[in-house]
A and B are shown apart, each in its own frame.
Chain A
Amino acid sequence: MMLSEADITALLLTLKLALVSTFILLLIGTPFAWWLAKSRWRYKFLLEALVALPLVLPPTVLGFYLLVLLGANGPLSTFGIAPVAFTFSGLVFGSVIYSMPFVIQPLHDAFLSIGKRPMEVAATLRASPWDRFFTIALPLARPGFITACVLGFAHTIGEFGVVLMIGGNIPGQTQVLSIAIYDHVESLDYTSAHWLSGGLIALSFLMLATVYATNKRFRIFRL
């Protein structure tokens, strides 16, 4: 057996976390990226900077404040919201915030590159605003959606600091791949660490290759 049962549990938990987070990110990110692309609000840049924060902050900083916010004595608990630190929901919450820029940016770019002409044409062909959004904007932004999904997913799989801070290391609940690898290295079990790390490299490469193949104009460094 190449992977122990604990490793498989960690792997499945990681995939579940990445799937759930990506799904939530698309739900939140699509309208938000659309608004960013269309809005002419002069203070829009403040929100853009806020979303981009996880790109520059050490994940531990983000994790620390999330822990304070979501912990047992955090401000949210005073509103009667159950604390989610050290639970799977807490991980999802942290991942969504941490991976937000990786979903927003490609969607924003995709919506911008459509321009207003196709939407205007659709309006002259009797399509209402919602109709235009679903039948023109979304299909034309498809490469952006593929990029957003893959980056959001891959980035969530790879996170460590945020997870460690707000999730801890509870097997089956909050122990994800990156933390399992860390544990293996700590206990000098390099073979297991190799299997997990090597697998992660292969998976990440595969996903990024998909992005570049489907979206020739994609540049990961542009933000």
Chain B
Amino acid sequence: MSLDIQFNLQRADFALHVDLSLPATGITAIFGPSGSGKTTLLRAIAGLEHIPGGEISFKGQAWQQDTTFTPTHMRSIAYVFQEPSLFAHLNVRQNLQYGLKRIGENQRRVSLDNAVALLDIEKLLERQAHTLSGGEQQRVAIARALAVSPELLLMDEPLSSLDNKLKEEILPYLESLHKELDIPILYVSHATDEVARLADTLVILKSGEILGAGPIQEMLTRLDLPLSHRKDAETLIHATVTSTDAEFDLTSMECDGQLFTVSGNTLAPGTRARLRIAAQDVSITLDKQTGTSIQNIFPATVIELQEEGNAQVMIKLQLGDNPLLARLTRKSVQELSITPGMQVYAQIKSVAVLA
């Protein structure tokens, strides 16, 4: 835990109460609807917003405390804004060098070549910023941020100004950032699909209040939090490829003893990947079914039930070390008399692999 933030902001039309201790590793997503205070939180961490009485410290350095206020340019961060915001009077290369030139040689952990290669922008270097497409501009903006070798990368909905096609173009770069550079990222988003793909830790914000903060699997499946009740409620499982089956185009993936069968066979054995299981695609049987077409059937324990209106019930199951959500009709729950503590079988109709 090494990014600690504490402040209370009270404005006429807006309040934000934050008391957070976040890990300085991996990707932490700040998730919430627009107007919930996500951007204000990120700007306060960057020092772009001064919230009186707030306290912010990163890896033991106080960025804001009592009378201390470290100005933005003295914080070892980088920031990717919602719009690419490239400097219009500089070309792409000069944009990339702007931050790089301002840090000491000994602080350079990410080389310009590395950032350029990672974001695949070699061909754009001599172009003027305004001649690039939106997706290209945002890739340059991300590379420019990386080039200052930040100890913390702040990203404010970097994909929201882009259409779906461009999003799909940039998401893989963000994933590789995470894998190839050891820079913790704070990522503001209101899109569940981005969060499910990228985040390790999730902070859920609503109307200026933090509803929950913790590992993503837990945040997605806690029944007292809103994500587990969305139409597309889902469970994430981190699994490793054990074998592939070319004949049926299938891949076997393992997560603490459980073997999942997923379609496709492009991943090499040993690859770690996220499995996404929609709550809609999980059904429950009391006895292990035989003679079924469903490949993924696992013994599980019922942990908790919560009714969603009159028709549906969300059930949280424990499957080995992982929680698993299943959405059933209230009628079936009553007929099977499902109660917490029961041993059941979870049948998973479809499992998606997230890159």
Contact = CB atoms under 8 A, between A and B. Distances in A.
Interface of A: 117-118, 120-129, 131, 135-136, 139-140, 142
Contact of A126 (B46, B85, B99): B99
A123 B48 contact: yes
B87 A124 contact: no
13 contacts: A118-B85, A118-B87, A118-B88, A122-B87, A124-B46, A124-B72, A124-B78, A124-B154, A125-B78, A129-B73, A131-B102, A139-B89, A142-B89
- For the residues of A in contact with B, the DSSP-based class is helix
B152 to A, nearest CB: 11
B173 interface: no
Contacts of B102: 125-127, 131
Interface string B132-144: 0000000000001
A121 B73 contact: no
B144 A117 contact: no
Contacts, number: 60
A124 B89 contact: no
Nearest to B97: A125
Contacts of B103: 126
Most buried by B among A117, A126, A127, A129: A126
A126 B79 contact: no
Interface string B67-107: 00001110001110101010111000000001100110000
B: contact size bracket: 20 to 34
A144 to B, nearest CB: 13
B99 A125 contact: yes
Contacts of B47: 123
Contacts of B83: 117
Nearest to A142: B89
B73 A126 contact: yes
B77 A124 contact: yes
Nearest to B77: A124
Given A120-B48, A122-B98, A127 B81 contact: no
Given A121-B79, A124-B79, 13 more contacts: A121-B81, A121-B87, A123-B71, A123-B73, A124-B99, A125-B144, A125-B148, A126-B73, A126-B99, A126-B102, A126-B103, A127-B98, A140-B89
B89 A127 contact: no
A123 B144 CA distance: 13
B213 interface: no
Nearest to B99: A125
Contacts of A131: 73, 102
B295 to A, nearest CB: 48
Contacts of B73: 123-129, 131
B145 interface: yes
A97 B148 CA distance: 45
B99 A117 contact: no
Nearest to A115: B85
Nearest to A125: B99
B89 A123 contact: no
A140 to B, nearest CB: 6
B72 A120 contact: yes
B85 A123 contact: no
Nearest to A139: B89
Most buried by B among A118, A125, A128: A125
B81 A117 contact: yes
In order of increasing CB-CB distance, the 7 nearest A-B pairs are A125-B99, A124-B79, A126-B102, A123-B72, A139-B89, A121-B85, A123-B73
